[in-house]
Structure 1
Amino acid sequence: MSGLLALLDDVAGIAKVAAASVDDIAGQAAKAGAKAAGALIDDAAVTPKYVHGFAPARELPIIGKIAVGSIRNKLLILLPAALILSAFAPWVIMPLLMLGGGYLCFEGAEKVYHLFRPHAPYADGHLPQDKAPDHLEAEKVAGAVKTDFILSAEIMTIALAALPTGQPLWMQGMALALVAVGITVLVYGGVALIVKADDFGLWLARIGRLGATRALGRGLVAMMPGFMNLLMVVGTAAMIWVGGSIVLHGLAEIGWHAPYDWVHHQAEFAAALVPPALHGAVGWAVTAFFDGVFGVVLGLLLIPLVAKVIDPLLSVFSKS
């Protein structure tokens, strides 16, 4: 009997330790996800453009395919890679983070560039007519998943850097898995709500019993095109801002402090000109502005490099 009681006591102790570990992992995942929240706006703002031009019935399936690709990116590729790098080559994390930041700057600056010099097939704002809808959908999903891979890599790397050091590998993996799933659900659930808001407004306008309800529905329908355009602008600006910030911080981490320190001094100078209650907001706004300017300049410099060097090299390797 005493042996059974001792066994039950051991089991209870193990259960308490396991419960504490689960709580610890969940808490760490929440903190790490909060640290990565700055990059979420990229995903949430960029994704709706990938359903532009498709029938409403295809919007949610397309978002679902992108979400599945995002989960696959995070759990099957990025999470194992993050754990391997954390265990065996932590010094590689910052250069990879900077590489991803440079890609975000390039993507954002390319969008700004093509506002003034659009691609010929898309100059009128319409999808090309010589492709089958299923091919266009697959192309859009593939492009979205590719962009998501970079954004997800940024999120996972930021989350990994926010986790306490010296943890067992399995705890890091569980925390990163929770971040991956939680962020994907949050981002693509929000995107689904955004892209279906006009359909919901149309439904309200048709079946609403009250005049106010029908007016609300018509208002939603009327405002969504402008809101979607605004969201794309915000998404592009966020890509440039986050990318520039990552590269500037990375340069400071590897020893070149001048650009980061200059931006920091400008923010401090601007903050000193306003009342103390506004110091934080003004300092953040000035920092974000110069991070964005740096991101645009870096991205514009990368456009010819990608067009003249990287794309031809990739084309050669893909054919070989």
Structure 2
Amino acid sequence: MSGGLFALLDDIAVLAKAAAASIDDVGAAAGRASAKAAGVIVDDTAVTPRYVQGLDPKRELPIIKKIAIGSLRNKLLFILPAALLLSQFLPWALTPLLMIGGTYLCFEGAEKIWEKISHHPEGQADELHEGGQVADEKDIVSGAVRTDFILSAEIMVISLNEVANEPLLSRAVILAIVALAITALVYGVVALIVKMDDVGLNLAARGNGVASRLGRGMVAAMPKVLTTLSTVGIAAMIWVGGHILLLGLHDLSEMLGWHVLALPYEWVHHAEEAVHGATGALGGLLGWITNTIGSAILGLIVGAIVVAVLHLLPQRARVAAEAH
């Protein structure tokens, strides 16, 4: 009897170890998947604070909470089931879908650069504050959630591509973890950003001590923090989008047998190997930088082409029509 009990306990211990290993594997896979979506995450974090600019400070956190709930709904109820069905029944479609998403990222980054150069207003968040008027909270939340849907779809598809070889249940669990973790991270950081100036003002009101100086410094630093975050987001989108396109062209060339599609990937890969081999101990870092620069160049070229097609050419056509 005791032997049977010990055997049962031993089996339970083996199952527990297997379950723990499985949890570790899921956690590691979720971490890798989230890391691949870093460019989109940074952009999502950079964009969202604009939606609460000009609002009553007491309403900032409730609105961010509503946007976060909408974002989670996007990921779990709409994007996750669609992504799982796609990966299960049409896995070959992941590469073209990723490339479409990568092209969109390149376009978003290039469009923001064009907006800065041409001094055009930036995106939907500014449309909600035109003319000094702040839109209704429902309009703000719905607009933010619509924008989030596109970014969330990118995050989930990029993450799915990293775990496409996992069993269906593992894929579902990993993507659900990614959805929860990224939503909490993005909107937690956004909440800290939008309340940082309030914290700074409270500290600044405490006389002339260290706390007051710290508060004034926080208030003065906020515009620079938002500007830096926005710039990093633009660079990350162009780099990540270009990298997705590089890898996608390579995969498509193997699927279709069209070697010419793989040429950009091969050029960047050969440059990365040459730098890696010629720089000794720093080879890994400099090789990664080379790959990043190559990806960013491709991303900027593709993004500029899409911006020209969608913005510059129609604008010139309108100008020509008005001239006649």
Deviates more, 1:216-225 or 1:235-244: 235-244
Residue of structure 2 equivalent to 1:56: 57
Residue of structure 1 equivalent to 2:224: 226
Distance 2:35 2:305 in 1: 32
Q: TM-score, normalised by structure 1?
A: 0.80
Distance 1:228 1:171 in 2: 37
Residue of structure 2 equivalent to 1:103: 104
Deviates more, 1:54-63 or 1:220-229: 54-63
1:149-160 to structure 2, matched below 5 A, reads: 149-160=149-160
The CA deviation string for residues 19-43 of structure 1, in whole angstroms up to 9 with x for no partner, is 6655553443334334444542222
Out of 262, 276, 281, the position equivalent to 2:280 is 276
CA change 1:226–1:175 in 2 (3 A) is: same
CA change 1:55–1:108 in 2 (3 A) is: farther
Residue of structure 1 equivalent to 2:82: 81
Residue of structure 2 equivalent to 1:239: 237
Quote how far apart the aligned CAs of 1:223 are.
0.9
Deviates more, 1:57-66 or 1:230-239: 57-66
Question: Any gaps of 5 or more consecutive residues in structure 1?
Answer: 311-320
Decide whether the 8 Å contact of 1:46 with 1:231 is kept in 2: no
Decide whether the 8 Å contact of 2:272 with 2:291 is kept in 1: yes
Decide whether the 8 Å contact of 2:42 with 2:229 is kept in 1: no
Decide whether the 8 Å contact of 1:46 with 1:236 is kept in 2: no
Quote how far apart the aligned CAs of 1:219 are.
0.7
Residue of structure 2 equivalent to 1:28: 29
Residue of structure 2 equivalent to 1:264: 269
Quote how far apart the aligned CAs of 1:226 are.
1.5
Residue of structure 1 equivalent to 2:69: 68
CA change 1:265–1:179 in 2 (3 A) is: same
CA change 1:262–1:53 in 2 (3 A) is: farther
Residue of structure 1 equivalent to 2:130: 128
1:150-299 to structure 2, matched below 5 A, reads: 150-163=150-163, 165-167=165-167, 169-207=168-206, 211-255=209-253, 256-271=261-276, 275-299=279-303
Residue of structure 2 equivalent to 1:316: none
Question: Any gaps of 5 or more consecutive residues in structure 2?
Answer: 254-260, 315-324
Q: TM-score, normalised by structure 2?
A: 0.79
Decide whether the 8 Å contact of 2:80 with 2:175 is kept in 1: yes
Over the aligned positions, Cα root-mean-square deviation in angstroms equals 3.4
Decide whether the 8 Å contact of 1:110 with 1:303 is kept in 2: yes
Quote how far apart the aligned CAs of 1:269 are.
3.9
Q: Work out the percentage of aligned pairs sharing the same amino acid.
A: 50
Distance 1:46 1:190 in 2: 12
Quote how far apart the aligned CAs of 1:116 are.
2.5
Report SS of the residue matched to 2:288.
helix
The alignment of Structure 1 onto Structure 2 pairs a total of residues equal to: 301
